[in-house]
Amino acid sequence: MERIVREGMLVRLRIAEERDLEFILESEAEPENARYIIADSRSYHKDTLDSPAAAHFIVERKDTGEAVGFLIATGRNSPHHEQYWRRVIINERGKGYGKEAMELLMAWAFEDAGAHRGWLDCKDYNDRALHVYESLGLQREGVLRDTIFVDGKYENLVVLGILEGEWRERQKREGGTV
C-alpha cells in the first residue's frame, strides 16, 4: 500500500519501502548526483527506511507515478524539534520537481511532524541546489570549511536552515502551503 504524505502540482512524496532500495542506491550512484553527496550503504538505507528517527521519501511525478528522486529527513524524534534533511536527490533536473519536493518536505516537517527547525548542508559548488534552497527561504548559517575529504581533496559544506516561524511567514506572503 502506497503511503502518500504530500502532493503538489507536479510531484508527490510517499514513504519509501524496501522495494525502493534499488532506485535509491542507483540514484545515489548516478554520476551527476554522486559528485554532490557521499553515498550511504544499502544497510543504512534499509535500517532507516521508516524508523522513528528518520524517514525516506520517494519523489514521484504526480501525472505518471514515476520515481524522480528521494529525500531523507532525520531527527523525527528529536527532543529539540529539529530535522536534518540529509539527502535531497532529484534525477530529473530543470523541471521544478526538486523545488516542489522541498516545499512538500518543509510542509510535512512543519505541519505534520512538529519540527521547529529544518536544516541541510550542501557542497559549496552546488550552485543549482543552493539557488533552490535559498529561493525557498533557507538561510545560509555558515560554512564548514575543509570538512569532507573527497578524491584527495577537502571540500566545504554550506549549512542552510529555516525556522518554523520563517516558513510560516513565507507561506502567508506567498499564498499558503503546497
Residue 73 confidence class, pLDDT cut points 50, 70, 90: very high
Give me the mean pLDDT over the 66-87 stretch.
96
- pTM score above 0.75: yes
Query: Where exactly are the structural domains of the chain?
Result: 4-174
Distance of CA 167 to the CA centre of its chain: 16
Please count the other Cβ atoms lying within 10 Å of the Cβ belonging to residue 119.
19
Which architecture characterizes domain 4-174 according to CATH?
Answer: 3-Layer(aba) Sandwich (3.40)
Per the model's pLDDT, the better-predicted residue between 178 and 100 turns out to be 100
- For residue 4, give the H/E element and its range: strand 4-7
